[in-house]
C-alpha cells in the first residue's frame, strides 16, 4: 500500500529507483555494451564497451542491495559479458565483423529457428495435455523424408507437406495408443519412436532412392519476396520462407488456442489434473489423442523445412535432423511450456546456430562449441539457477479412466 | 531375482505408476516368455516391411544370422580366417559395448531413474580414454591401461553424476538433464576431435580424427590380430561388470538401498535411507558403466576416434533397448546385448552378397526392430493383459477397481 502511495506522489523517480527497473536496465546495458562494438554502430575504441559494462554492473550491484539479488547478479554478469564480448569485437578485423553481423543474420536466425518453433509448439501441445513427447526428433525426421517423397511423386510441395503431416500424425497416433491406452512409459515409448523413425526413413531412403538419388528439381517451399531494395529490412525479412512466416502465425494461434479458448482450457486441465477434468465431463483420452496427433503433424511440418526449405534444397540425408527435435524439446522447456516462451527460446537457439555458422570466418572450429549452447542453457534452466521452469503437473503420467 | 519388500498384486502395481513398481510387475508377469514374445513380434512386423518392399524376409533373416557369425556354433573353429569365426568375433566386440551401455541404463532403472544419457557418458569415456591413451605414452602397459580405464570410468560417472546431483538437489528430471548432457558431450567431442581441436591428430591438420592410443594402452587381443579389430580382452571386462552389477545390487547394502529407493522413495526415506545420496550414487555408478564402455572400445579396437564417428554411434541408445529387453537384470542384459550385437553387426557387415537385401537396407532394419522391441517392451498393460488371459484362460478387460484408479490419480 505504502509503495503505491509513494509512486502516486512521485511516480517517475520512484519507478527509476525501483530495483526491478535498475536490474533490467543493467541487463539491457550489458547487452548494449557488446552491441556497441559490432555493426552498425561499430565503436572501435575498447573504452566504450568497458564504460557501459561497468555502468551495467554497478546498476546490478545497486539492485542486489535493494533486495532483488537474482536480478542484480544477472545484471552484473550481463555487464561483465558485455565488456568481454565488446573488447573481443574491437580486437577483431572489421571485415570479419561485417561478415558475421549483417542484416542476413536476422534472416538466418529466423530460418534456423523455423523447425525449432514448429517442434517446440508441437511439444507444448502434447505436454500441456499431459503426454511427454520425447519422440519429436523421430517425427521431425519422418516429415523431412516423406515430404520429399510426396513432392517428388505428387509434383508439388503441397502434396509433400500433406504427406509429411499425415505420416507424422500417423506415427504420433501409434505412440499415443501406447502412451494413452496401453499406459506404457512415455519416455520408453518416445525413445522407441525415435528408433523407428530412424529405421523407417533410412530403410525407405535406400529402397526408394538408393541412399542418394533424389531427382533434381523437386518442388521446394517457396520464399516470400517483398520489400526488395529497402535497406536492411529487405535483407532481413524480405526473403523469408513461407514456412517461416507460417511459424510466426502458428505461435500466435497456439497462444490463443491454449490460453484464450475453452478447448485450450480443457487441454491444460488434462495436463494439470486429469481426474478433475474427467469429473467435469472432459474426455481426457480424446483430448490427449488429439494433442499428440496434432503435435506429430506440426513437428513433421517443421521437419519439412530441413529437406524442402532453402538450406535443404530438396535433399535428404540419413538422420538429417541430428538433434534438432531435441533442441525443440529444449526450447519448449526453456520457454516454460508456453508458446511465446518457446518461440523466444527457439529464436535464441536459432541465433546461436547462426552465429556458430558465421564464426567459421575466424576459425573452422570456433563455432562448434557454440552448437552446445542451447543444451547448456536448458540445463541451467531446469537446474533453476535463473528462474525455475515448471512442467504441467500431470505431464508424463498415464491416466486410467474410472 | 530376490526382491525385498512386499510384492503387490500385478493389477495394483500397474496402477501405482512408479517406474520401479511397474518394472517389478514385469519381472513377475511372464518370466522370460514376454521378452521372447516381444522379440518375435518385432521380427514379424519388420518382416512385413521387408515383404512389402519386395524382398524375402526369411532369406533376409537367414543372411543376417549368417552375417552375425552365430552359425559358428554349427562348426566351431578357432581359425579366425574362417568367415563365421571372424563374424562372430566382430559380433562379440559389439556385444561387449552393449553389455556395458545396457548395464548403465539398467542400474539407474533399478533406482527408479531413466538414464537416457548413456550415449553422452560413452562419448566422455571415449574422449578421456583417448586422451590418457595418447598423451600418457611411455608408461608400462599394465599401469597405462588401468589408468586409462579408471580415468574414463570416473569421467563417465562424473558426467552422469551431474544429472544425479541436479535431481537430488533441485529435483530436475533426469531424463531432461541427461538428454541435454548427451548433446553437450557430443558437441564437446566434435570440438575436441575437429580441426584444430586439442585431441586432433598431430600429423594431418585437415583430418578431424584423433591420434591412435599408444601401444602400451591397447588391450591385448586374444582372437584375431592386434590392430585389425581382433577380439580383445574387453569382453572379459564386460562379463566381470555383469557380475559386479549383480553382486552390487543383490549382495551389498548399497544395492539394497538403491533398490529400496527405486521401489518407493518415500518408504525408503521412512526406513532411514538417505534418498538423495542414493540417487546421486546410482546415477554415478550408472555413468561409470557407460564410461567404461567407451574406454573398452577405445583401448580395445577403435584406438582413435573422429568427428564423423560421433553422430553415427548409437550404442548408448541401443543400451536402452538392451536393458529394457533384459529387464534390468544381469543375465537379461547379457542376452539382450548378444541379440542387439548380432543384429547390429549381422545386418551391416554380414550381407556381403547383397543378393537378398542390400546391406544398407538391412542396417536400417536393425533400427526398426530395435524400435519395435522398445515399443512393445514398454507396454506393460499389454503384458498384463497377456498374463491375465493366460491365468484365467479367457480374455478380459484391464481391471478398473476404484482403489487402483485412485492410486493412479
* B266-279 pLDDT tens trace: 999 999 999 999 99
**For residues A217-238, average pLDDT:** 77
| pLDDT for res B390 | 58
CB-CB neighbors (< 8 A) of A378 in chain B:
176, 180
Of A35, A18, A28, give the one whose Cα is nearest residue A57: A28
Q: Does residue A257 have a pLDDT over 90?
A: yes
Upper half-sphere CA count for residue A356 (Cβ side, 13 Å) = 18
Q: How far apart are CA A51 and CA A33, in angstroms?
A: 8
User: Residue B388 falls within a domain, yes or no?
Assistant: no
Q: How far is B156 from chain A (nearest CA, A)?
A: 18
**For residues B306-322, average pLDDT:** 88
Q: Does residue B397 have a pLDDT over 60?
A: no
Q: Which CATH number characterizes residue B162's domain? A: 1.10.3470
Cβ contact B199:B210 at 8 Å? yes
A182 lies within 8 A of chain B by CB: yes
Q: Does residue B389 have a pLDDT over 70?
A: no
CB atoms within 10 A of CB A66: 16
Q: How far is A197 from chain B (nearest CA, A)?
A: 8
Pull the grid cell for residue A199: 529405421
Q: How far is A80 from chain B (nearest CA, A)?
A: 24
Q: A318 or B18: which carries more pLDDT confidence? A: A318
Per-residue burial over A155-180, b if 16 or more Cβ lie within 10 Å, else e, is eebebbbbbbbbbbbbbbebbbebbb
CB atoms within 10 A of CB A82: 29
Q: Does residue A324 have a pLDDT over 80?
A: yes
| pLDDT for res B333 | 93
CB-CB neighbors (< 8 A) of B372 in chain A:
192, 196
pLDDT > 90: percent of chain A: 38
Closest by Cβ to B361, choosing from A182, A206, A376: A206
CB-CB neighbors (< 8 A) of B15 in chain A:
400
Q: Under CATH, which architecture does the A102-383 domain have?
A: Orthogonal Bundle (1.10)
B231 forms beta bridges with: B223
| pLDDT for res B148 | 96
Give the residue from B187, B198, B325, B406 with the most A CB atoms within 10 Å of its CB, the best one to mutate.
B187
| pLDDT for res B360 | 76
Domain count, chain B: 1
User: Residue B226 falls within a domain, yes or no?
Assistant: yes
The model's pLDDT over A239-251, given as tens digits with 9 standing for 90+, comes to 889 999 999 999 9
Q: Does residue A108 have a pLDDT over 70?
A: yes
pLDDT > 70: percent of chain A: 92
| pLDDT for res A196 | 94
| pLDDT for res B352 | 56
**For residues B215-220, average pLDDT:** 91
Is the CB of A187 less than 8 angstroms away from the CB of B114? yes
The continuous run of DSSP H or E covering B223 comes out as strand B221-223
User: Residue B397 falls within a domain, yes or no?
Assistant: no
Instruction: Tally C-beta pairs within 8 A across A and B.
Output: 179
Closest by Cβ to B19, choosing from A185, A203, A369: A185
Is the CB of B375 less than 8 angstroms away from the CB of A193? yes
Pull the grid cell for residue A359: 564464426
Residues of chain A with CATH 1.10.3470: 102-383
At residue B5 the predicted structure's pLDDT band, cuts being 50, 70 and 90, is very low
Closest by Cβ to B188, choosing from A182, A327, A372: A372
The model's pLDDT over A337-393, given as tens digits with 9 standing for 90+, comes to 999 989 988 998 888 888 888 877 776 676 788 788 888 888 887 776 555 667 888
| pLDDT for res B154 | 97
Q: A277 or B399: which carries more pLDDT confidence? A: A277
At residue B362 the predicted structure's pLDDT band, cuts being 50, 70 and 90, is confident
Q: Does residue B345 have a pLDDT over 70?
A: yes
Q: Does residue A2 have a pLDDT over 80?
A: no
- Residue range(s) defining the domain that contains residue B126: 31-378
User: Residue B246 falls within a domain, yes or no?
Assistant: yes
The model's pLDDT over A16-69, given as tens digits with 9 standing for 90+, comes to 777 778 878 888 888 887 777 777 777 777 777 888 888 888 888 888 777 777
At residue B403 the predicted structure's pLDDT band, cuts being 50, 70 and 90, is very low
Contacting residues for A400 by C-beta, under 8 A, at least 6 apart: A183, B15, B400, B404, B405, B408
Q: A362 or B380: which carries more pLDDT confidence? A: A362
Q: Looking at chain A, which residue has its C-alpha nearest residue B361?
A: A203
User: Residue B218 falls within a domain, yes or no?
Assistant: yes
Q: How far apart are CA A30 and CA A352, in angstroms?
A: 18
Cβ contact A68:A18 at 8 Å? no
The model's pLDDT over B138-161, given as tens digits with 9 standing for 90+, comes to 888 899 999 999 999 999 999 999
**For residues B9-23, average pLDDT:** 51
User: Residue B400 falls within a domain, yes or no?
Assistant: no
A372 lies within 8 A of chain B by CB: yes
User: Residue B137 falls within a domain, yes or no?
Assistant: yes
**For residues A236-241, average pLDDT:** 81
User: Residue B354 falls within a domain, yes or no?
Assistant: yes
Q: Does residue A206 have a pLDDT over 80?
A: yes
Q: How far apart are CA B26 and CA B48, in angstroms?
A: 28
Amino acid at each position: 500500500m505504502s509503495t503505491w502511495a509513494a509512486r502516486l506522489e512521485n511516480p517517475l523517480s520512484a519507478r527509476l529507483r525501483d530495483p526491478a527497473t535498475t536490474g533490467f536496465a543493467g541487463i539491457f546495458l550489458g547487452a548494449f555494451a557488446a552491441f556497441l562494438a559490432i555493426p552498425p554502430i561499430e565503436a572501435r575504441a575498447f573504452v566504450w564497451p568497458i564504460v557501459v559494462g561497468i555502468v551495467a554492473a554497478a546498476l546490478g550491484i545497486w539492485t542486489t542491495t535493494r533486495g532483488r539479488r537474482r536480478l542484480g547478479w544477472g545484471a552484473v554478469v550481463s555487464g561483465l559479458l558485455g565488456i568481454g564480448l565488446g573488447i573481443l569485437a574491437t580486437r577483431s578485423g572489421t571485415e570479419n565483423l561485417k561478415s558475421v553481423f549483417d542484416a542476413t543474420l536476422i534472416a538466418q536466425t529466423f530460418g534456423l529457428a523455423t523447425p525449432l518453433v514448429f517442434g517446440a509448439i508441437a511439444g507444448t501441445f502434447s505436454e500441456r495435455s499431459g503426454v511427454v513427447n520425447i519422440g519429436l526428433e523421430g517425427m521431425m525426421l519422418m516429415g523431412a523424408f516423406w515430404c520429399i517423397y510426396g513432392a517428388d511423386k505428387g509434383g508439388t510441395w503441397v502434396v509433400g507437406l500433406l504427406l509429411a503431416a499425415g505420416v507424422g500424425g500417423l506415427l504420433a497416433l501409434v505412440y499415443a495408443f501406447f502412451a494413452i491406452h496401453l499406459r506404457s512409459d512415455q519416455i520408453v515409448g518416445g525413445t522407441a519412436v525415435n528408433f523407428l523413425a530412424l529405421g523407417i526413413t533410412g530403410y525407405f531412403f535406400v529402397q526408394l532412392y538408393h541412399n542418394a538419388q533424389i531427382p533434381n528439381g523437386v518442388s521446394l517451399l517457396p520464399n516470400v519476396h517483398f520489400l526488395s531494395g529497402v535497406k536492411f529490412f529487405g535483407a532481413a525479412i524480405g526473403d523469408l520462407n513461407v514456412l517461416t512466416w507460417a511459424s510466426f502465425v502458428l505461435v500466435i494461434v497456439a497462444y490463443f488456442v491454449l490460453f484464450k479458448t475453452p478447448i485450450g482450457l480443457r487441454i491444460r486441465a488434462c495436463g494439470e489434473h486429469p481426474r478433475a477434468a474427467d469429473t467435469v465431463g472432459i474426455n481426457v483420452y480424446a483430448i490427449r489423442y488429439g494433442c499428440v496427433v496434432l503435435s506429430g503433424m506440426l513437428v513433421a511440418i517443421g521437419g519439412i523445412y530441413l529437406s524442402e526449405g532453402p538450406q535443404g534444397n530438396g535433399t535428404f540425408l540419413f538422420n538429417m535432423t541430428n538433434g534438432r527435435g531435441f533442441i525443440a524439446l529444449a526450447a519448449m522447456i526453456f520457454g516454460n511450456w508456453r508458446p511465446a516462451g518457446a518461440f523466444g527460446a527457439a529464436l535464441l537457439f536459432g541465433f546461436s546456430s547462426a552465429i556458430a555458422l558465421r564464426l567459421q570466418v575466424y576459425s573452422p572450429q570456433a563455432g562448434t562449441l557454440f552448437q552446445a549452447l542451447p543444451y547448456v542453457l536448458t540445463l541451467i534452466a531446469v537446474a533453476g539457477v535463473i528462474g525455475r521452469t515448471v512442467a504441467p503437473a500431470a505431464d508424463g503420467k498415464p491416466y486410467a479412466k474410472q | 531375482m530376490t526382491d525385498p519388500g512386499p510384492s503387490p498384486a500385478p493389477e495394483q502395481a500397474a496402477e501405482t505408476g512408479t517406474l520401479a513398481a511397474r518394472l517389478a510387475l514385469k519381472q513377475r508377469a511372464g518370466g522370460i516368455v514376454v521378452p521372447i514374445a516381444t522379440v518375435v513380434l518385432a521380427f514379424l512386423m519388420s518382416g512385413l516391411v521387408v515383404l512389402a518392399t519386395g524382398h524375402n524376409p526369411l532369406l533376409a533373416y537367414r543372411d543376417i544370422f549368417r552375417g552375425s557369425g552365430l552359425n559358428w556354433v554349427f562348426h566351431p573353429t578357432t581359425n579366425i580366417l574362417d568367415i563365421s569365426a571372424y563374424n562372430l568375433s566382430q559380433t562379440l566386440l559389439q556385444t561387449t559395448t552393449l553389455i556395458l551401455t545396457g548395464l548403465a541404463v539398467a542400474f539407474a532403472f533399478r533406482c527408479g531413474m531413466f538414464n537416457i544419457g548413456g550415449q553422452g557418458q560413452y562419448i566422455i569415456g571415449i574422449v578421456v580414454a583417448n586422451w590418457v591413451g595418447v598423451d600418457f605414452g611411455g608408461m608400462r602397459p599394465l599401469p597405462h591401461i588401468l589408468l586409462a580405464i579408471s580415468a574414463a570410468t570416473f569421467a563417465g560417472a562424473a558426467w552422469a553424476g551431474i544429472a544425479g546431483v541436479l535431481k537430488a538437489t533441485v529435483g530436475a528430471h533426469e531424463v531432461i538433464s541427461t538428454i541435454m548432457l548427451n548433446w553437450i558431450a557430443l558437441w564437446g567431442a566434435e570440438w575436441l576431435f575437429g580441426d584444430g581441436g586439442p585431441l586432433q591428430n598431430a600429423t594431418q591438420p585437415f583430418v578431424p580424427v584423433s591420434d591412435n592410443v599408444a601401444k602400451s594402452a591397447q588391450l591385448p587381443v586374444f582372437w584375431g590380430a592386434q590392430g585389425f579389430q581382433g577380439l580383445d580382452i574387453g569382453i572379459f571386462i564386460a562379463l566381470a561388470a555383469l557380475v559386479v552389477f549383480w553382486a552390487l545390487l543383490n549382495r551389498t547394502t548399497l544395492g539394497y538401498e538403491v533398490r529400496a529407493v527405486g521401489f518407493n522413495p518415500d518408504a525408503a526415506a521412512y526406513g532411514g535411507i538417505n534418498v538423495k545420496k542414493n540417487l546421486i550414487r546410482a546415477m554415478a555408478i550408472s555413468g561409470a558403466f557407460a564410461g567404461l564402455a567407451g574406454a573398452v572400445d577405445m583401448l580395445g579396437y577403435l584406438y582413435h576416434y573422429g568427428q564423423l564417428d560421433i553422430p553415427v554411434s548409437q550404442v548408448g541408445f541401443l543400451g536402452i533397448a538392451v536393458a529394457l529387453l533384459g529387464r534390468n537384470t544381469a543375465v537379461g542384459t547379457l542376452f539382450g546385448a548378444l541379440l542387439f550385437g548380432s543384429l547390429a553387426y549381422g545386418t551391416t557387415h554380414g550381407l556381403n552378397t547383397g543378393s537378398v537385401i542390400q546391406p544398407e537396407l538391412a542396417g536400417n532394419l536393425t533400427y526398426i526392430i530395435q524400435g519395435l522391441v522398445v515399443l512393445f517392451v514398454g507396454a506393460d498393460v499389454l503384458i498384463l493383459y497377456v498374463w491375465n488371459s493366460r491365468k484365467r484362460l479367457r480374455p478380459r478387460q484391464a481391471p478398473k477397481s476404484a482403489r487402483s484408479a485412485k492410486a493412479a490419480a
